[in-house]
Structure 1
Amino acid sequence: MTIRRIIHVDMDAFYASVEQRDNPQLRGKPVAVGHGAARGVVAAASYEARAFGIHSAMASVTAMRKCPSLIFVPPRFEVYKAVSAQIREIFAEHTTLIEPLSLDEAYLDVTENLQGIPLATDVANAIRAKIKAVTGLNSSAGISYNKFLAKMASGYRKPNNFFVIPPGKGAEFVSALPIEKFHGVGPATAARMHALGITTGADLAALSLEETTARFGRSAEYWFNLSRGIDHREVKPNRERKSIGAEDTFSIDVSSFDEANPLVAPLIAKVWLHCEVRELWPRTVTLKVKFANFEQITRSKSNPSHLTERRQFELIVSDLLAKQFPPRLPIRLLGVTASGFQPEAASAAEQLAFSV
């Protein structure tokens, strides 16, 4: 089998770095891209802001408490998209196998790269150098033989750096990796694994496939392989996003709508931010509810037309949530998902036709 050479390129604090690039007065200062209003959310944070514990999807009021000198800058998505297009053009000079994950990161398969560069590390650094020359922005890269390890490697020495995990070293790297660092492990999954005594990749790899299946069901093979540095997923160009979701497990179970409603607000903000950035306008909204006994239900509503305003999205989530109270058992987790997407142009045409 041919050993694949995969690069994961990730821009460093992309939105905030663009703002600092374009406004010298922001350089070296804690900057958050987003709206500082009471219901606002941080879309991105500069590294100076991250030093205060500020991160994307954090509520603006929380961010201001952590750093009173934080400077909020309204997002300029058209500018970020234009810069992202420049970066994609640089990727395309090296390979046709490009799988964008967002405006600021992508997987590249350079096993057969267009410039015939023998080493994937050299390809990655050529890309990073040209991104810097063309856009003035820094990026980091992870290089490995599969997507999971490339993703892990790109964040290993951020910012403005690269890291390589070669064949034969994948299992060793994963064995020392805290389970929270695994791409795809959120707080709820991490807590569940910790309860089982699994805190590192080595702990997970110690389980047989049968034991992993008993604990994780349908996800067992995925975790079994990752713990051994195995990931067979291919880099897929034109990757279509089917849904965008967020969920949270609460430290204390909730039993009333008044308790639950504020807790779902940051989930709405996070999901809608991703929809807005990608110009993906949903028609279907789904609420996920997990009870204290770990049973879960989902409730969905599909709108006649695609949603282009956050307020529409909020009202549907609130309606779905209100119908779950009083619950038959206390609730330990809530999740919000948007799906049934329509691009902006088609959505505008749809609205025009509807209004006529």
Structure 2
Amino acid sequence: MTALKDRRWRRVIILMDMDAFFASVEQRDHPEWRGQAIGITNGQRGTCIITCSYEARALGIKTGMRVREALQICPDFIQVPASPERYAAVSTRIMHVLRTITPDLEIFSVDEAFLDVTHCQRLYGSPERIGRLVKTRVETASGVRCSVGVSGDKTTAKWAAKQGKPDGFVLIPPWEARYRLREVPVTELCGIADGVGRYLAERGVFRCGDMARLPIGELGRRFGNQGRRIWYMCQGEDPERVETRVAPPKSIGHGKVMPPDTRDLETIQIFLLHMSEKVAARLRRHELQASRFFVGLRAGWGWIGAKRATPLPTSDGRRIMALCRETLREQWQGEGVSQVQVTALDPRPVCEQLELFGMDEQVESDALHQVVDQTNERYGEFAIAPARLLKRSDMPNVIAPSWKPFGHRQSI
């Protein structure tokens, strides 16, 4: 048995998943909250729980619940405003320590990462030993707990990590993966959303073990390569590799939730200006420009908005805001809105060629942006900003779902 346990695997994938990450960081930094039901919201005025401690979860409080509902369940529930910069700093330390184990690292989100440690077995020992090493180093670097799943493919490793939470460690050898997954509902696997789940259910595939009865070609015809991958995922043989490269950005955007049913034009313009300047600053930080933008307002029935273009690529917030004003004039009919979004749709590297017309204006604008960006980088976002942004929302920024500790995705 020991020889089987210690034998070298053909492929070893580890998924490291922090436990209630934001809440755990707060409890680490505030000992008086340890053992308490706490929930993280976007600022002190936030009404929706972003995540909550395991003590809160044990009482039935969960992500997405309104604070007022949580207080009905637990009158002692503690609302904690999010500190995204602090969480990002802790995550950066975690990802740095993971790179000391293997360079084959895929940062899946701010609190999750895949490691391919296949080639580390000779250096560190068995897959179990490497998984334990990951857990120990992460917890030492961060001061908070994590759960680890170890298997021969990404999907099984991710599923395994969820089974032991919190503070879990679950190892599934590749030769056991199909058996361990056979009774698992297909929609429990990462990447199989409700739409795909309905398609599979219509064909009698409810659990992973049912998948073997469905020809792989049928999924391939309907969903392409992703469909074929799903077929293998359910067999415990996900072929997807750990992706170490961060792809060039296909878009760069920022959005903000507004007070419900906002109809005041001045308020909406301030929110749009705020997002325009954030997008522009981020483009400049990574030496990018764009000429196509999406400007959107979320109403009760869906999005109001349009794709708009500038004559030449830009990273100037004033030009982006001009597109926002056009959208308001032409698309908005006074409906109540609850969110704004501004997205650069075609970011590309800055061209060194100056505009033929308006060259002096461009040089002056670039110099001004350089000073503003350097000042804001040193003293904080919008230390220098358009005067109208003094009235911007005091709701703090949030961590982007695709956050990375480096490059164009290092976005809050």
Match of 1:237 among 244, 250, 254: 244
**How many percent of aligned residue pairs carry the same amino acid?**
29
| CA deviation vs aligned residue, 1:198-240 (integer Å, no higher than 9, x gap) | 3211222320123334655664212221122222222122434
Give distance in 1, aligned partners of 2:36 and 2:372: 44
Match of 2:30 among 23, 26, 31: 23
> Helix, strand or coil for the counterpart of 1:155?
helix
Give distance in 1, aligned partners of 2:225 and 2:306: 22
The alignment covers a number of residue pairs equal to: 297
Give the TM-score taking structure 2 as reference length.
0.59
> Helix, strand or coil for the counterpart of 1:224?
helix
CA gap 1:104/1:229 in 2 versus in 1, 3 angstroms: same
Give distance in 2, aligned partners of 1:197 and 1:339: 42
Query: Where do residues 184-223 of structure 1 align in structure 2 (5 Å cutoff)?
Result: 184-213=191-220, 216=223, 219-223=226-230
How much does 1:35 deviate? Answer: 3.4
> Helix, strand or coil for the counterpart of 1:95?
coil
How much does 1:286 deviate? Answer: 8.8
What residue identity is the alignment partner of 1:107?
A: F
What residue identity is the alignment partner of 1:183?
A: C
CA gap 1:122/1:167 in 2 versus in 1, 3 angstroms: same
Match of 2:133 among 126, 130, 136: 126
Query: Where do residues 33-48 of structure 1 align in structure 2 (5 Å cutoff)?
Result: 33-35=40-42, 40-48=47-55
Give distance in 1, aligned partners of 2:129 and 2:199: 40
How much does 1:196 deviate? Answer: 4.1
Give distance in 2, aligned partners of 1:200 and 1:125: 30
Greater Rg by CA: 2
Matched residue, 2:110: 103
> Helix, strand or coil for the counterpart of 1:160?
coil
CA gap 1:15/1:112 in 2 versus in 1, 3 angstroms: same
How much does 1:63 deviate? Answer: 4.5
Q: Does 1:88 align with 2:91?
A: no
**Contact 1:243–1:337 under 8 Å retained in 2:** no
Q: Does 1:51 align with 2:77?
A: no
**Contact 2:152–2:237 under 8 Å retained in 1:** no
How much does 1:187 deviate? Answer: 3.5
CA gap 1:210/1:299 in 2 versus in 1, 3 angstroms: farther
Question: What runs of 5+ residues in structure 1 fail to find an aligned partner?
Answer: 246-257, 259-271, 288-297, 324-335
Matched residue, 2:13: 6
Matched residue, 2:257: none
**Contact 2:251–2:344 under 8 Å retained in 1:** yes
**Contact 1:306–1:341 under 8 Å retained in 2:** no
What residue identity is the alignment partner of 2:130?
A: V
How much does 1:67 deviate? Answer: 4.4
Query: Where do residues 123-162 of structure 1 align in structure 2 (5 Å cutoff)?
Result: 123-162=130-169
Give distance in 2, aligned partners of 1:192 and 1:33: 36
CA gap 1:150/1:58 in 2 versus in 1, 3 angstroms: same
> Helix, strand or coil for the counterpart of 2:149?
strand
Give distance in 2, aligned partners of 1:128 and 1:121: 11
How much does 1:32 deviate? Answer: 1.1
Match of 1:79 among 79, 82, 86: 86
Pairwise CA RMSD: 4.5
CA gap 1:159/1:41 in 2 versus in 1, 3 angstroms: same
What residue identity is the alignment partner of 1:49?
A: A
CA gap 1:66/1:196 in 2 versus in 1, 3 angstroms: farther
Match of 1:175 among 175, 182, 186: 182
